[in-house]
Amino acid sequence: MDLILNTFGSCLTKDNEAFMAINKDGARQRVLPDDVRSIIISRGAQISSDAVLLAIEHEIEVLFVDKGGHPQGRIWSNKYGSISTIRKGQLLFVRSKEAVKWIIDIIENKIENQQALLWTFTATYPETSKIVERTVGRLEKYRLKVKELQGEQISDIAAQLRGWEGLVSKHYFEQMNNFLPERYRFSERSQHPAMDVVNAMLNYGYGMLYGKIEGSLIRAGVDPYIGVLHRDEYNRPVLIYDVIERYRVWVDYVVFTLVGKHIVGEEYYSIKPDGSCWLEGLGRRIVIQSMNDYLGEVISLKGMERSRMTHIDLFCQNLAQQFKGINV
């Protein structure tokens, strides 16, 4: 489980050999370290040094996030480590033809996932089947273009890949918008900041996924700051931006399902004077709980029955082995 403190005045301390979570009203919950995968702290919450040391002892990551759910800092056990062979191999990999094949597979997989999700929602909204069919066809044309790209290095294909990926995203979200109740439809994707509640929920869900993928990469011994397609952003864990493309559709499914079921109320978010939209405590809680439940569900991928979160861990572990196998 993830131990999450996202309300003002809450704190986490140590109670003998367990964690003690205390909310602002003084209510307490004792949690054993063996039951915790990660500890997530947002603004206004506190964690004691004893609780941090207990987390380190049990190799539990401690992640600090902003109000949008995006990781801002992390404490982890030095037992995670990373042997130099993996990082040397990673540096060679990003400049190799293998990286071209890898990122093409990532983007192909992302488009296939988007197509599948469009068809999934069509079952609930059959009146959209004709327009969905056209959108899926457009996405398929771009998928085939991506598949046929050739290059010796990422720089040979990066501009085309980014351009096509942007067009795919535009067509995809235009169609996904049709699955929303009229009052929640948005004109375009907005990120920093979100300008509507659906984009605020998407951004928060993506932020959660960024943190989980970063943790998986670190535990696998991979450097999240050495990216493949995303390589030129200073002081950013850019490899996460590559890996997350395989899994963004999971956030999309959770958010569009929640909004489509009219679960989201006005108390879930607030509109600031500049027009930006931010999730309030209740809104954050519903996204966090829904995402964690969804990532905890067991699914079959490549013949393996594992939780979605475990599939992410396995992908990162396999990536580390791929780097390790490169002659350095």
| Tens digit of each residue's pLDDT (9 = 90 or more) over 62-113 | 989 887 788 888 887 776 666 788 999 999 999 999 999 999 999 999 999 9
> Within this chain, do residues 196 and 91 fall inside the same structural domain, yes or no?
yes
> Within this chain, do residues 235 and 287 fall inside the same structural domain, yes or no?
yes
- The yes-or-no verdict on residue 128 having pLDDT over 90 is no
- The yes-or-no verdict on residue 292 having pLDDT over 80 is yes
Q: What is the pLDDT of residue 307?
A: 95
Q: 62: domain CATH number?
A: 3.100.10.20
Determine the length of the chain: 328
Burial class (CB in 10 A: 0-12, 13-18, 19+), 82: middle
| pTM, 2 dp | 0.88
- What integer is the mean pLDDT of 264-284? 92
Q: Which residue is it, tokens 């509640």?
A: 197
Last residue of a domain, one of 75, 103, 132: 75
Q: What is the pLDDT of residue 132?
A: 95
Lowest model confidence (mean pLDDT) among 61-70, 129-138, 160-169: 61-70
Please write the tens of the pLDDT for every residue from 205-255: 999 999 999 999 998 999 999 999 886 665 678 999 999 999 999 999 999
Distance CA 277, CA 195 (A): 5
> Within this chain, do residues 137 and 247 fall inside the same structural domain, yes or no?
yes
> Within this chain, do residues 266 and 207 fall inside the same structural domain, yes or no?
yes
> Within this chain, do residues 214 and 308 fall inside the same structural domain, yes or no?
yes
> Within this chain, do residues 109 and 257 fall inside the same structural domain, yes or no?
yes
Q: Where in the sequence is the domain holding 317, given as residue range(s)?
A: 84-324
Residue 209 contacts residue 244 (beta carbons within 8 Å): yes
Residue in 86, 34, 78 with CA at minimum distance from that of residue 220: 86
- What integer is the mean pLDDT of 28-56? 90
153 vs 1: which has the higher pLDDT: 153
Please write the tens of the pLDDT for every residue from 183-207: 999 989 998 899 999 999 999 999 9
Last residue of a domain, one of 75, 94, 125: 75
Residue 5 contacts residue 47 (beta carbons within 8 Å): yes
> Within this chain, do residues 160 and 223 fall inside the same structural domain, yes or no?
yes
Number of folded domains that form the chain: 2
Phi, psi of 275 (to 5 degrees): 90, -5
Contacts of residue 109, defined as CB under 8 A and 6 or more positions apart, other chains included, come to: 245, 246
> Within this chain, do residues 66 and 154 fall inside the same structural domain, yes or no?
no
Q: What is the pLDDT of residue 290?
A: 95
Q: What is the pLDDT of residue 233?
A: 62
Q: What is the pLDDT of residue 130?
A: 92
> Within this chain, do residues 13 and 98 fall inside the same structural domain, yes or no?
no
Taking CA atoms, 196 is separated from 184, 187, 251, 277, 315, in Å, by 8, 10, 16, 5, 33
Q: What is the mean pLDDT of the chain?
A: 91
> Within this chain, do residues 218 and 298 fall inside the same structural domain, yes or no?
yes
Q: What is the pLDDT of residue 100?
A: 96
| Residue 322: band (very low, low, confident or very high) from pLDDT cuts 50, 70, 90 | very high
Q: What is the pLDDT of residue 174?
A: 95
Q: 150: domain CATH number?
A: 1.20.120.920
The percent of residues above 70 in pLDDT, for the chain, comes to 97
Distance CA 255, CA 191 (A): 15
Lowest model confidence (mean pLDDT) among 171-180, 272-281, 318-327: 318-327
The alpha carbon of residue 245 and the mean position of all alpha carbons in its chain are separated, in whole angstroms, by 8
Lowest model confidence (mean pLDDT) among 6-10, 60-64, 252-256, 319-323: 6-10
> Within this chain, do residues 55 and 97 fall inside the same structural domain, yes or no?
no
Q: What is the pLDDT of residue 302?
A: 82
Residue 224 contacts residue 211 (beta carbons within 8 Å): no
- What integer is the mean pLDDT of 9-27? 89
Q: What is the pLDDT of residue 237?
A: 85
> Within this chain, do residues 183 and 69 fall inside the same structural domain, yes or no?
no
Distance CA 303, CA 199 (A): 34
Helix (H) or strand (E) holding 38: strand 38-41
Partners of 246 in the β-ladder: none
Last residue of a domain, one of 43, 75, 107: 75
